[in-house]
Chains A and B, each alone.
Chain A
């Protein structure tokens, strides 16, 4: 049954695609201060290894519950976490609406993040899928929930910036 997805009109679908494009652009341009604004005040952001997700284990590599925690992460990534700098490039594909519940739209999308460190070749850094819940908040679409479930069995040393 595609009834829930069919309820989403074309304009809203385009708006959802624009949200993903803007989200990727924010991260890829390193505009991290804008990243928390893609989320509602109360929100869920998790970066989770697929093995934990599939086995129902609650541990996440990163787990935040409010825009405040996202702001704290931005401060950490830019001011306190010592790291070798890198660019990231998000390739997001296959955005699909998986359901509508109340005022929220459930979506999923594949993502691939390519990392480029200074003086190094570009490399596949993290790949997985977003499992999201999107709501309209203050006139724009925002993520109330974003679960990044990554296939990558090993993190290449560290993850500093958001995915």
Chain B
């Protein structure tokens, strides 16, 4: 099956606008295979984790880029390496632990072993075996250990966040983030030591791009999420800013909390609950932190693989793991900072009730994405419409726009050649 042929089908994008995405872009298996190649395996940096997850030499974390299992490891010299998780000999996905500490990677099948950077260092019976005084077997004389290491990825960490790429020609990470988006990344990750608070993992029956879109969509939070509109965490009457990189692939949605309650932004909004009062409002015990410098929320989409969340005191990374055209896994890593007081840690943990697979403002994102995928499947010739704020693509100083989604699909069509 030749994927680009499917992509080139004249029927795929009949309405040649970024604001109209064909339903088939979310369901077509050939297109999906091509997305993995062009976004996850070539030309892009993908998120693999936080340095705080592998603090010591030998510490490793098994993770995923696209559909390929990889291992993030801190080598003996303290540097970070990322290697692909299958043996050069017979293909065994040898690492099955999620986290651990190792001196070598050893495949259980024939005990081929590798150093932490993925170099092959041991092959049992490589030089044969002596049976009744006669040397038998062994690898051929021209067997080159150096040519049979694990697949080694390019790795770069920026202020504690680690990215990797199968493509060694990818541009430097900060250039990849771009001058417009990088400062917002560095607002959360300014080099402070991070502390991992824990993980949440969910499987969402929807196309992976829908999660990128969800966090490039400032239109929905004040409508779908009662908590956001009622408590003034995200709604149309807030001072906001939509930022995108020069390509339109990465974005930042930035806003400032207001006091909530009734107003222009709640008129006709069915999810607004004027009289809603919490029985125990410690879940919303928000304390401003100096590094916010104003905004109470910044949501970054770093294409293709990760979202960085700051919603008041709750900070997390959300890792997108595609699993076929109709499904992705979503790994949340909640963290704090090494200089947090115990009260701040407790606050971050309490506010985590808003986020993740059961969160007051996140559980329904997954639900709605699942329902989008249901809609796409039943009417594959149709297309979505994203024209709030016009059809232009560019940064805005308000949230009543779908410009970031349009920017994403301009980039998508360019890379995918559709």
Chain A residues packing against B (C-beta within 8 Å)? 47, 49, 51-52, 55, 57-69, 71-72, 75-76, 79-84, 153-160
Contact = CB atoms under 8 A, between A and B. Distances in A.
Nearest to B280: A68
A72 B370 contact: no
Interface string B200-211: 111111000000
A59 to B, nearest CB: 3
| Interface SS, A side | mixed
Interface stretch (B153-161, B296-304, B354-362): B354-362
Contact of A75 (B98, B276, B352): B276
A58 B282 CA distance: 17
The listed residue with most A CB atoms (<10 A of its CB), out of B334, B345, B357, B364, is: B357
B196 interface: yes
A58 B226 contact: no
A144 B280 CA distance: 17
Contacts of A49: 198-201
A157 B201 contact: no
B198 A158 contact: no
A142 B204 CA distance: 35
The listed residue with most A CB atoms (<10 A of its CB), out of B203, B204, B363, B368, is: B363
Given A68-B278, A72-B279, A82-B364, A157 B370 contact: yes
B37 interface: no
Given A57-B199, A62-B358, A80-B360, 4 more contacts: A55-B99, A61-B357, A61-B358, A68-B280
Closest 7 CB pairs of A and B: A59-B198, A68-B279, A68-B280, A80-B226, A57-B198, A158-B363, A52-B198
Interface string B96-108: 0011000000000
A45 B206 CA distance: 30
Contact of B202 (A67, A71, A154): A154
Interface size class of B (residues with CB under 8 A): 35 or more
A44 to B, nearest CB: 12
B273 interface: yes
Contact of B280 (A60, A72, A158): A72
Given A68-B280, A75-B276, A84 B367 contact: yes
A81 to B, nearest CB: 5
Contacts of B283: 69, 72
B199 A59 contact: yes
Contacts of B197: 57-59
A65 B282 contact: yes
Nearest to A82: B364
Contacts of B99: 55
30 contacts: A52-B198, A58-B198, A59-B334, A59-B349, A64-B353, A65-B280, A65-B350, A68-B278, A68-B280, A69-B283, A72-B283, A75-B276, A76-B227, A79-B226, A82-B364, A82-B368, A154-B203, A154-B329, A155-B201, A155-B202, A155-B358, A157-B202, A157-B203, A157-B357, A157-B366, A158-B357, A158-B363, A158-B367, A159-B358, A159-B363
